[in-house]
Structure 1
Amino acid sequence: MIEMYPKKGKVILHVDMNSFFASVEMAYDTGLKGKPLAIAGNVEERRGIIITCSYEARKFGVKTTMPIWQGKKLCPELIVLKPNFDRYRKTSIAIFELMRQYTDLVEPVSIDEGYLDITGCAELGSPIEIANRIQKRIFETMDLPCSIGIAPNKFLAKTASDMKKPMGITILRKRDVPLILWPLEVGEMHGIGKKTAEKLNSIGIETIGDLAKAHDVTLRQILGINGLKLKERATGIDGRAVDPESIFDHKSIGNSTTLPKDITNQKELIDILEQLSTKVALRLKNKKLVGQKIGVTIRYKDRRTITRSRTVENHFFEKADIHRLAVELFKKHWNGEKVRLLGVTAFEVMDKEAAYKQLDLFSYEKDAEKESLYYAMEKLQSKYGKEIIKKGVEVAEKKGQAETSFSKDFLDNLRLKE
């Protein structure tokens, strides 16, 4: 069996649950099986947003982020249920516990997907046998379908798991990349969104193969260092290790400013918090991140400094939410003395795309409704500079690069105590 594993290199699995929320509901109520099902909020209101839907619903053209009324129009028999996030979190934890029975090298990516490094698991069977066993056990014990990608690195494993859904198992080797991936449109590549694809198209890069052969200087000019990373992925290169400890990272994005004079006027201080919140929100937005813990730093005239924080139920990235939470903290902990410095920080940041799967539905709907506004703001800032949209006085930005990481709220019971 050891001959089926590479002498050099790794064997990585990517397990991706199929239509997770809908599948969990069908496992809980077998009467829903085989029926078009959508998970959404405000089910009584046709303007509610669909979070996910079953494959039966997708056959009618029903999609994620689609308004309920539109889904109903495409599929009159569509069943719409409110989400049960506690049920989804408990199921997710059980899935990852099952994965860890095969290897300790398990890295959760979101509530419904994760990587396994099975390089040292030859005694358990071949990679395809292990993948089959995991898929079969999840289905038999939890009645949930999943797709699994097998590859020498995380990027190719993720790509492979997307190739056959539901209940697929796909092997993707580096030598397969030119034949399988290069003919695809560049926008289909994992890690490339609509805007990045448009930028690449503008310089003649239409396919993944074009990206793999593109000039480094050109890519760096339009995408920065990320352009070179994407080129590596396009050639099948990805050196990232499967990191089980990533779920314990608690990193942050924040801004602080030393005030031009010591201030005791509450309104002035709240206005400054608003400017800081705007900066934090823009940085979160630019990096496509959200936070779940808000922090406020207050330094008094005598240089005494306090930092207070609180974890909130729903992830945030909007300026209004950050400002509201920061003001609540500030009012609770400010002693009324003169303030010399203020800071606002978003802690426990994570990828926005992954967080959408965990967001409270009402937040999800509100964010979806405002996407057109965020897009318009980004276009203005891209064309005329970030200073084109601002309010009030300018606040100095704290120097230094923001740290980012995944923070899995559905695995809170596994986190190290602070």
Structure 2
Amino acid sequence: METRSDIIAWNGPAVGLLDLDAFFASVEQLDHPEWRGKPVIVGGSPEKRGVVSTASYEARVYGVHSAMASATAKRLCPDAIWASPNFKRYREMSDKVMSIIKDETPRVEQVSIDEAFFDVTPGRFSRESPVDICQRIQRRVLGLGISCSIGIGVNKTVAKIASEREKPRGLTVVFPGTEAGFLAPLPVSAMSGIGPAATSKLAEMGIKTLGQLAHADEKELEVRFGVMGPRMRERAAGREKSVVQLSDAEEEVKSVSNERTFETDITGRDELEAAILHIAGMVGRRLRKKGLKGRTVTLKLRYDTLRSRTAQTRLDSRVDDEHVFGPVAVGLLDELWKPGIRVRLVGVGISSFDDDPAGEQLRLFPDGQASENERSRNHANLSRVTDALKERFGDDAVEYGRDLRFRSKTTGTAPKDLPKD
């Protein structure tokens, strides 16, 4: 619903959700003018179990969409142009877009590399109409050579759903007091948090639209969905009370992790251990860049059956050095793997950043060997030096043998929630 801001005055909260249109593919078309107007797919190789990260709108006409297997996308659109993800370039463009939003309001919550909520409530940071602000944001983003769609309403749920109503370059405005009517005819699956399983359960109750959900029996919803049942009902009615959080607040960071899918299953222990240490190195670099240290180490494996398992352990003190937590992650392998089991994905994560450091048990001269502390310092120094070299000369500037081993063995798929660091 596009509307002029001078027709209806905005009273109450105003939350916007900006969603960059086919972001990765749009950046590739911007950088390769000869690709404009042609189907472009960004993602992992069709020959290496890749997954589509983003498809241009020209490719979507053929049925290609995000998270689709690359092999399927190639069958649907054989003439598409394939691009490997350029993470550094996407972060650069994302940062420019976020800066544009922050020029309009200090309250910005980036939820992924191509999405952000923002608060433009009249009188809070500006006296301008929220619609005028959104239109200006869209024009400025377009000036970067890419486009975005924006939804705006009284809360995050309404803004998110509105942003998906008209793409690309859409501006969907849901004025205060009209949210119930806007939501009512939409299918329940239009609301985030309602996946296939919840949709099926609601259908069993005769509930197929958000309007029906908004008027459903609260007690029955609680029996079926627990505490989330009444909350779904409130959101479906447009009555959610939400606050746009500051994305840069450190306390919002719960974990730092990386995972990689391999083009051929890993079957040997030596290769698995090398893969774990390879990925731990990526996590260590991200931790140091964010200035974070954690105590909980998590190892994740996905098997050839697509079933996943994880194992965790806690360290005596918080760390950011892969030379410390990498071997610990390797030590979790026996909990998840036995000889003969095929592994297609390996992930390593670090969490528990906010534990009280006073409670840490620091060991002096473990096993009676003072040289252990010296080795730890040397490893930490080595990590910082390699970080600096990679930051200046690129990720390939310095590599361990294990990194070279896996350089060409991953699928090359870009995660949609690409970290901002």
Q: Give the TM-score normalised by structure 1.
A: 0.62
Change (3 A) 1:336 1:308: farther
Over aligned residues, Cα RMSD in angstroms? Answer: 4.1
What does residue 23 of structure 1 align with? 26
Q: 2:419 aligns with which of 398, 401, 409?
A: 409
Residue 204 of structure 1: how far off its partner (Å): 2.2
Q: Among 161, 165, 168, which residue is 2:167 paired with?
A: 165
- 1:297 matched to 2:314: yes
**Which residue number corresponds to residue 395 of structure 1?**
none
Tell me the secondary structure at the aligned position of residue 167 of structure 1. Answer: coil
Cα distance, 1:200 vs structure 2 = 1.6
Deviation digits for residues 224-255 of structure 1, max 9, x if unmatched? 111221111100012111111564223369xx
Give distance in 2, aligned partners of 1:20 and 1:367: 13
Give 1:4 deviation, angstroms.
6.0
C-alpha separation in 2, matches of 1:323 and 1:129: 44
Aligned mate of 1:131, from 131, 134, 145: 134
The CA deviation string for residues 321-370 of structure 1, in whole angstroms up to 9 with x for no partner, is: 889779xxxxxx99469xxxxxxxxxxxxxxxxxxxxxx994786999xx
Percent identity among equivalent residues? Answer: 33
- Letter of the structure 1 residue corresponding to residue 317 of structure 2: I
Rounded Cα–Cα distance in structure 2 between residues aligned with 1:15 and 1:36: 24
Partners of 2:129 and 2:414 lie apart in 1 by 46
Deviation of the 1:99 alpha carbon: 0.8
Answer whether contact 1:147 1:169 (CA < 8 A) is retained: yes
Residue 97 of structure 1, CA deviation: 0.8
Superposed CA deviations along residues 87-115 of structure 1, whole A, max 9, x for unmatched, are: 11111111111111111111111111111
Alignment match, 1:58 = 60
Equivalent in the alignment of 2:233: 231
Q: Deviations over 1:131-161 (max 9, x none)?
A: 1111011111x11110011211111111111
Gaps of 5+ in 2: 257-295, 302-308, 338-344, 351-362, 369-406
Mapped partners of 1:408, 1:366: distance in 2: 7
Q: Residue 75 of structure 1: CA displacement? A: 1.8
Contact 2:221 2:229 in 1 (8 A): yes
Question: Partners in 1 of 2:61 and 2:223 — Cα distance?
Answer: 41
1:359-384 CA-to-partner distances (Å, cap 9, x unmatched) read: x994786999xxxxxxxxxxxxxxxx
Number of aligned residues? 302
Query: 1-side partners of 2:6 and 2:168: how far apart?
Result: 30
Superposition pairs of residues 5-44 of structure 1, within 5 angstroms: 6-7=10-11, 9-42=12-45
Hey, what's the Cα distance between the residues in 2 that align with 1:279 and 1:235? 39
Partner AA of 1:55 in structure 2 = Y
C-alpha distance in structure 1 between counterparts of 2:86 and 2:48, whole Å: 19
- Normalised to the residue count of structure 2, the TM-score between the two structures is 0.62
Distance 2:321 2:198 in 1: 35
Query: What letter matches 1:232 in structure 2?
Result: E
The 1-side partners of 2:217 and 2:248 are apart by 33
- Return closer, same or farther for 1:224/1:174 CA change in 2, 3 Å cut-off: farther
Residues 297, 314 of structure 2: 8 Å contact kept? no
Q: Residues 11 and 295 of structure 1: is their aligned pair in 2 closer, same or farther, counting only changes over 3 Å?
A: same
Do residues 105 (structure 1) and 107 (structure 2) align? yes
Within 5 A, what are the aligned runs for 1:194-205? 194-205=196-207
| 3-state SS, counterpart of residue 73 of structure 2 | helix
Deviation at 1:76, TM superposition (A): 2.3
User: Which segment drifts farther, 11-20 or 70-79?
Assistant: 70-79
C-alpha distance in 1, partners of 2:55/2:212?
A: 34
Aligned partner of 1:93 in structure 2 is: 95
Equivalent-residue separation in structure 2 for 1:169 and 1:136 (angstroms): 11
Flag the 1:121–1:174 CA change in 2: closer, same or farther, 3 A: closer
- Counterpart Cα distance in 2 of 1:325 and 1:208: 37
5+ residue gaps, structure 1, are: 254-276, 283-289, 299-304, 327-332, 338-359, 369-406, 413-418
Q: Does residue 70 of structure 2 align to residue 68 of structure 1? A: yes
Give the superposition deviation at 1:281: 6.5
Answer with 189-198 or 226-235: which moved more. 189-198
Aligned counterpart, 1:80: 82
SS in 1 for 2:103: coil
CA contact (8 A) 1:5 1:122 kept: no
The equivalences for 1:176-187 within 5 A come to: 176-187=178-189
Q: Amino acid of the residue matched to residue 151 of structure 2? A: G
After TM superposition, the structure 1 = structure 2 runs for residues 373-388 of structure 1, keeping only pairs within 5 Å, are none
Q: Is the 8 Å Cα contact of residues 21 and 83 (structure 1) preserved in structure 2?
A: yes
